[in-house]
Amino acid sequence: MRRRSIGIFLLVLVLMGGLMLRLYDLSGQNLSQAADQQAGLTVTVANVRGTIYDANLRPLVNAETEYRVSLTASPETLAAVSSCLDAAALETLTERLQEGKPVAAVLDSLPSPADGLAVFETPVRYSEPLLAPHVLGYLDGDGLHGATGAELVFDERLNDCAGKAETTYTVDATGRPLQGIAPTLSNTLGRAKAGVALTIDADIQKIAENAARQYIRKGAVVVMEPSTGRIAAMVSLPDFQPSTVAENLNNTDAPLLNRALCNYNCGSVFKIVTAAAAIEAGIPLSTSFDCAGSLDVGGITFHCHNRLGHGGLTMTQAFAQSCNPYFIRLAQRMGGQTLYAMAVALGFDRPVILAEGWKTARAVLPSETELLSPAAVANLSFGQGALMATPVHIAQLVAAVVNDGNIVRPTLLKGMVDENGALTEEPVSPAQSAFSASTARTLRELMKTVVEEGTGRSARPFELGAGGKTGTAENADHSDNLTFIGFAPYENPEIAVAVVIEYGGKGDAAKETAKAVFEAYFAETLQKEAKRAETTVTEGTE
């Protein structure tokens, strides 16, 4: 019995000893981990997303820099930064340092060197005034992810390219830096040079924004390179700046809305589609119809903008004068199904995909069943009724005329940029034929007539010529939207332009906007060519 009791006692001792050893091991690990955590304190000074570039690899964000620092509380560090901050900012910084832990701050200028002060020159995400704010978009409330525009569409890419600036301090158990031990600096901000290149050309974007602000309160301008579909400028007014996003969230004018991607009634610019369908159907330009100022179709009266009527007109004359009754008769002759098929071929039944995850509103066509109604065909013939499309759709239409009847899908993505600045270009979408090259040549001639002697005369640039088409679309409240689409120069066109003005009334604002874009573009092009020639001569001399 006594031997059994001793055995149990020894077993209990062994178990207790093992338990104590395990507790010691666990507590030792926790203490070790706590000590490791207390040994280093990392301050993130800057966290920068990848860069968004224009078509010529000029940064549209991260374009400017500022000085950011991490510092510890000492008379030397405060003296070094005091001249780089205003009084209020210095007071706030001093209060933060009173806790005894290192902090990060943004300075107005480069500080003097000091112990306990780490300085980084870091990119500024947005520099105001920001070009193309609707295209670039803005970040969410936390500043970590894109909320709209390119910031949202390429959010994953831009975050994958993010860089950081960090300072790690050796600290005591209370988190205060230990004196005499220099912090460890980590700077990967160079990674943020990688990112995405848009098709936006900063020079052309400035031209379009300046022209738009001169003539437009609400509306949009799209400038596109016809041969590639690359959008060189996209303007939406009213606009915003990154610092004004919050105050504009409930603005009834909707300045955060990108109107270039929104649907509008097309108006008479759609007569290009009607003319294309008629010419493809074999109806000659010499075909004549009378305009008496209005036309009755199925008991509905459709008016011409010239209420007195144009009299007898050929297709060329009717296109130049934008005569509604003529185009109604033209649609009646070829049939609604023929017109519908041409509209579909030109993309007026779908959205335009500008990049993966980035698209316009879906254009709206009356259905084939609706077009069994003569009145619906009449409405469609001159761009009214159920028809809706975005400024990008009608820019695409102009490009098809320039490209011998071939559609090239509009895009805002030029390619991806790596950390070394090398661009991997996104291939241009293959062209799709909508109508013949001979029809395209005829349409270009018709559009030239509009600018030379028709309703678009005030859009004619001083030099090199252009082609275009005007449009006025009536809204549900009986107000008018003004539209102009065109291309320039007339020979070997380089740009296609679409202008839409909401509630623009009756006037020349859309045409004047396009003219301002054409002329500024020509001036910019000539200036660049002169600089290139001067550089070539200089290099040859050397």
Q: What is the pLDDT of residues 398-447, one digit of tens each?
A: 999 999 999 999 999 999 999 999 999 999 999 999 999 999 999 999 99
d(CA 212, CA 133): 14
Bond into 427 cis (ω within 30): no
With b for 16 or more beta-carbon neighbours within 10 A and e for fewer, the 360-399 pattern comes to: bbbbbbbeeebbebbebbbbbbbbbbebbbbbbbbbbbbb
In this predicted structure, what is the pLDDT of residue 463? 81
The lowest-confidence range among 9-13, 146-150, 353-357 is 9-13
The predicted pLDDT at position 383 comes to: 94
Q: Taking a C-beta distance cutoff of 8 angstroms, is the pair 473, 384 a contact? A: yes
Residues whose CB falls within 8 Å of the CB of residue 287, separated by 6 or more in sequence, listed in order: 314, 315, 330, 333
| Closest to 313 in 3D by CA, of 339, 285, 278 | 285
The answer, yes or no, to whether residue 378 has pLDDT greater than 60, is yes
Dist CA 223 CA 86 (whole Å): 43
pLDDT (mean) for 477-496: 92
Query: Taking residues 309-322, what's their average pLDDT?
Result: 95
pLDDT exceeds 70 at position 24: no
Residue predicted with more confidence, 225 or 16: 225
Count of Cβ atoms closer than 10 Å to residue 174 Cβ: 9
For position 36, what pLDDT does the model report?
A: 47
Number of neighbours of residue 313 by Cβ within 10 angstroms: 21
Instruction: Flag whether pLDDT at 7 surpasses 50.
Output: no
Q: Position of tokens 């006037």?
A: 507
Distance CA 186, CA 176 (A): 20
Residue pair 322/310 in contact (Cβ under 8 Å)? The answer is no
Residue 346 has which token pair? 């030109």
Q: Please state the rounded mean pLDDT for residues 12-23.
A: 44
396 touches 407 (CB < 8 A):
yes
| Alpha carbons 154 and 444: distance in angstroms, whole number | 37
* Rounded-to-integer distance, Cα 69 and Cα 183, Å: 12
Query: pLDDT tier at 535 (50, 70, 90 boundaries)?
Result: low
Predicted local distance difference test score (pLDDT) of residue 537:
58
| Percent share of the chain, pLDDT over 70 | 91
Both tokens of 131, joined, read 């070009």
CA 449 to chain centre: 33
Letter string b/e over residues 271-290, b meaning 16 or more CB atoms within 10 A of that residue's CB: bbbbbbbbbbeebebebebe
Percentage of residues in the chain having pLDDT higher than 90:
76
| 290 contacts 311 by C-beta, under 8 angstroms | yes
Tell me the residue ranges of DSSP E strands in 262-325: 289-291, 294-297, 300-303, 311-313
* pTM exceeds 0.85, yes or no: yes
DSSP state at residue 261: G
Q: What tokens appear for 43 in the block?
A: 């301050």
Would you say residue 139 has pLDDT above 50? yes
pLDDT of residue 172: 86
More confident residue, 209 or 34: 209
Q: Nearest Cα to 440, choosing from 416, 405, 411?
A: 405
Mean pLDDT confidence for 19-46? 59
Q: CA nearest 373: which of 403, 335, 411?
A: 335
**Is 415 within 8 Å of 428 (Cβ atoms)?**
no
Terminal Cα distance for the chain, rounded: 113
More confident residue, 418 or 18: 418
What pLDDT, on the 0 to 100 scale, is given for residue 541? 56
Q: What is the DSSP letter of 482?
A: E
The pLDDT value given to residue 31? 42
Residue at token pair 């030109």: 346
Res. 4: pLDDT tops 60: no
> What integer is the mean pLDDT of 443-471?
94
Region 131-143: what's the mean pLDDT? 95
| 126 pLDDT above the threshold of 60 | yes
Q: Does 64 have pLDDT greater than 80?
A: yes
Q: What would the mean pLDDT of 76-93 be, rounded to a whole number?
A: 90
pLDDT at 540 (0 to 100): 58
pLDDT at 290 over 70: yes
- 284 upstream amide cis, omega within 30 of 0: no
pLDDT band at 466 (very low <50, low <70, confident <90, very high): very high
Answer whether residue 182 shows pLDDT above 90.
Answer: no
Mean pLDDT (the chain) is 90
